[in-house]
Structure 1
Amino acid sequence: MDRTRFLIKTSAVYAFIGAFIGSHMAGGGGLELSAIHAHILVVGWLSLFAFGIFYKVFPIPKDSKLAIAHVWGSFIGVFGLTVGMWLYYAKPFPGLETFSTVFFIVGGTILLIAFAIFLLIAFKHGKFISED
């Protein structure tokens, strides 16, 4: 799998969704989706894009189990956090409050673990991170 391509394309999807929600809020005058909009743009677009650039710029080994866990954890965590947040705050399906809460928490936890893995990668593969 090309980590950079996967992360950049996924971040583009989140950028579009975040911009669409922002446009919808601006046109409708309501700010009920502002937390969801912000998280989609920050963790969905910005973080995934930055991770994609990180893998392009620095030669982190392609067979690194940490990198594989990081990429998939980031992908699943961003999806779980943002969709869970939408389910939790927008309540589009009445009666799913417990499911929404669990989905939101599990997604956020997976994303937090992915960020911890990124921290480990930065230190474990630090020899590859250089201005040279």
Structure 2
Amino acid sequence: MSPSAPLFLRLAPVLALLGMCLGIVMGISQDHRLQTLHAHVNLIGWVSMFLAGLYYRLVPAADGRLAYWHFGLATLGLASLGTGLAGLAFGERSFEPFAVVGSLLTIAAMAVFAWIVARTS
């Protein structure tokens, strides 16, 4: 297994569980203000990270220093974006910079991954 693949493959299911738990809590409470956070945790955290992990595992040439940058940017991006989305969902406009920074980090992470895929596929 390549060096960064385990990072993605171990974190992704944890994020899937967090996203699912958030969905269950919203359903039980009938308070769906965090539905955007729920969607982002599941799609960016679970789906994107797991697929990236599989790619790095299947294409060892893709793994390397850039793959670690991808992981770091994706993780920081999701954490910042999630913080911003949660704050905004509860009407706290002061959390908007977290959402903006998180979005930019997430896009940067995907740009790094796109570069990696383009040069190794």
TM-score, L = length of structure 2: 0.88
Q: Which residue of 2 aligns with 1:107?
A: 102
Q: Are 2:15 and 1:8 equivalent residues in the alignment?
A: no
Q: Which amino acid aligns with 2:113?
A: F
What's the CA shift for 1:116?
0.8
For 1:109, give the aligned amino acid.
Answer: L
**Cα pair 2:56 2:62 within 8 Å, conserved:** no
- Determine the C-alpha separation between the residues in 1 that align with 2:55 and 2:90: 34
Q: Does 1:41 align with 2:81?
A: no
Q: Structure 1: which 5+ runs fail to align?
A: 127-132
Measure, in 1, the Cα distance between the counterparts of 2:86 and 2:3. Answer: 29
Paired positions, count: 120
Report the counterpart of residue 130 of structure 1 in structure 2: none
* CA separation of 1:67 and 1:19: change in aligned 2, threshold 3 A: same
> 1:61-120: CA deviations, max 9, x gaps?
54x3322221211111111112221122135xx6xx33x111110011001011111111
- For the 8 Å contact 2:62–2:116, the answer to whether it is kept is no
Deviation at residue 30 of structure 1 after TM alignment? 2.5
5+ residue gaps, structure 2, are: none
Name 1:19's counterpart in structure 2: 20
Richer in helix (by share): 2
Give the AA of the match of 2:76: I
Letter in 1 for 2:45: G
TM-score w.r.t. the length of structure 1 is 0.81
Q: Percent identity?
A: 24
RMSD: 1.8
